[in-house]
Structure 1
């Protein structure tokens, strides 16, 4: 009789664990299948200056050229691809981004790649169709200095039953292909130059640094010292290193931990180091009652999908613990019998 109870207990425990693991397996499978229904391949031109699969070109003033990216629909249904071209930007963590954006370039010689490239904003692909996406490149007649760096982003659209766009399609998901386009005319070395737009405060302090030249700034170290307005006493020091700047871009650097600063006036001293050269910037900001009120407003931006994933993880861990305890119980029971 006791053995029957043990068998019944084991079957129930095994069934529950199998159910939870099945749910988890389905969730993982769904995640892995959430890719894009199309692929791309760049046709590398003769003026490519590297072995990379993205476009890295040496051009001449007044050049006209067509860049080609082959798009292939890998599915059994029509696919609409949204195409965008943007200037490269610098993220707050010191990484160069090539995705779609509307950030303005800084510096004097700040030619935008958007002014040089003509392209279709959408491409329709029939089931299993391959089509050439063409970018018409028009280089200015006046020679430019340094490097022009941008990115091409390809996103999949799908038909939407509600709130259709003018094209009858909407963004499907956040998955996309992104690759860079870089243009240069000569090998002349560009002298780096950095400026600062100062330090400000909005739910935390941040300092803004501009790469004024058309070059990629690499291995950059930044150290910011935070002090009171009328004292040299250091409240905190913030250090980052191995940062990279896109040409003619702006870095908005958050000073982590300043969200809890008391109301008052503060100043900063920032030193940027690159290739044994230093640039120093002074800044000042004020923490007001309005800032404190904004800080207290919390918005939960956690996607629903991620919440479900956490639930699945908890269920898996719980079922695993239950299975372990059950086996341990049965083994001890068997020994006592």
Structure 2
């Protein structure tokens, strides 16, 4: 009987996924704040700078592993990702068309350092402010990624975990601390797109000014042109846009299928707890060719999920029935003996 149980367990191991838990992330990073830090309460770099200024930004990596680990230290431009979140996790991305003072152009190139086990190491990155004065806020982050191993870490103010193996320390640069710059929202292209098998209609939104847009809320719906009935509705709140950045605000069809035709997008956006308000109305067309092309490769998430559940349940029942039959055969055989 034990032999058959072992076989069944092995079969279940093939059918059902194995869940594993990563070890705790065993390193940390902190910023060594310089004299030109605007607010010493912040744990990230919040610096007042001058045109042509150079200085070294220093961070300390605390390696609590017993062995040496390699870390990649990368200064990255702040962008807005598709979820409406300020993202510092990528280097050398395409610049926004309104970005006049890129953070990466002011910083040294990424570097890799090796930190011995159970030791701290200070890493210095040179900052060179352009001779030409810039307006508003330059926003970026210094990402420290463990190239050797890692796990997970908690989020603290000014420092966030971008993946299983990386911390980011924010960097905010300003030349004028009392300068008032108001955000401006622009609606760019509307297009169809597909991500991981899921179709959407993407309205590209752009913050054209060098200022962070907080408390960003968008309510959007799409109608057939000339109709008052919405065919797709998407509302999102608690978003933030980086200065001089853009992202695709995605509206997803309920059945994941795009229908060709003429449409109108209505988009209502607010920022800074309703202080700023923008309204957009834009006609667009989904052609038969693009709808057919994208619909051929979609994933039907709901149906796929339930079919998977049914299939797993059926296999489990089949295996249990097999165990019962074997047990009955063995019991009858013993009774005959």
TM norm. shorter chain > 0.5: yes
State the 1:231 CA deviation: 4.1
Match of 1:170 in 2: none
The verdict on how the C-alpha distance between 1:293 and 1:263 changes in structure 2, with shifts beyond 3 A counting, is same
State the alpha-carbon separation in 2 of the partners of residues 93 and 42 from structure 1.
27
SS at match of 2:65: coil
Partner of 2:191: 200
1:263 equivalent to 2:260? Answer yes
Q: 1:238 aligns with which of 234, 238, 242?
A: 234
Whether 1:45 and 2:34 are equivalent positions in the alignment is yes
Query: Which deviations, in whole Å up to 9, do the C-alpha atoms of 1:80-138 show, x marking residues without a partner?
Result: 11121211111222221221244434354531111111155201123334322101111
Stretches of structure 2 that go unaligned for 5 or more consecutive residues are 1-17, 150-162, 194-198, 301-311, 317-337
- Pairing 1:121–2:91 present: no
SS at match of 1:294: helix
Q: Residues 227-271 of structure 1, C-alpha deviation per residue, up to 9 Å, x if partnerless?
A: 223545433433223321110111211113363242223221222
Residues 297-336 of structure 1 aligned to structure 2 (within 5 Å): 297=297
1:95 matched residue in structure 2: 85
Task: Say yes or no: does 1:254 pair with 2:244.
Answer: no
The match for 2:134 is 144
* Higher relative helix content: 1
**Secondary structure of 2:169's partner?**
strand
Q: Structure 1 residues 147 and 296, CA, compared in 2 at 3 Å: closer, same or farther?
A: same
Q: How far, CA to CA, are the matches of 2:142 and 2:291 in structure 1?
A: 37
Q: Distance in 2 between matches of 1:288 and 1:158?
A: 49
User: Is contact 1:199-1:285 (8 Å) kept?
Assistant: no
Change (3 A) 1:73 1:61: same
Aligned to 1:187: 178
Q: Report the counterpart of residue 134 of structure 1 in structure 2.
A: 124
Aligned partners of 1:107 and 1:211 also within 8 Å: no
Superposition deviation, residue 287 in structure 1 = 4.5
Report the counterpart of residue 281 of structure 2 in structure 1.
282
The residue number in structure 1 matching 2:51 is 61
Is contact 2:74–2:91 with CA below 8 Å preserved after alignment? no
> Paired residues, what number?
273
Does the 8 Å contact 2:258/2:291 carry over to 1? no
The aligned residue for residue 222 of structure 2 is 226
CA distance in 2, matches of 1:40, 1:294: 43
Q: Deviations over 1:146-192 (max 9, x none)?
A: 10100111111139xxxxxxxxxxxxx84211121110113210022
Q: Which moved more, 1:287-296 or 1:137-146?
A: 287-296
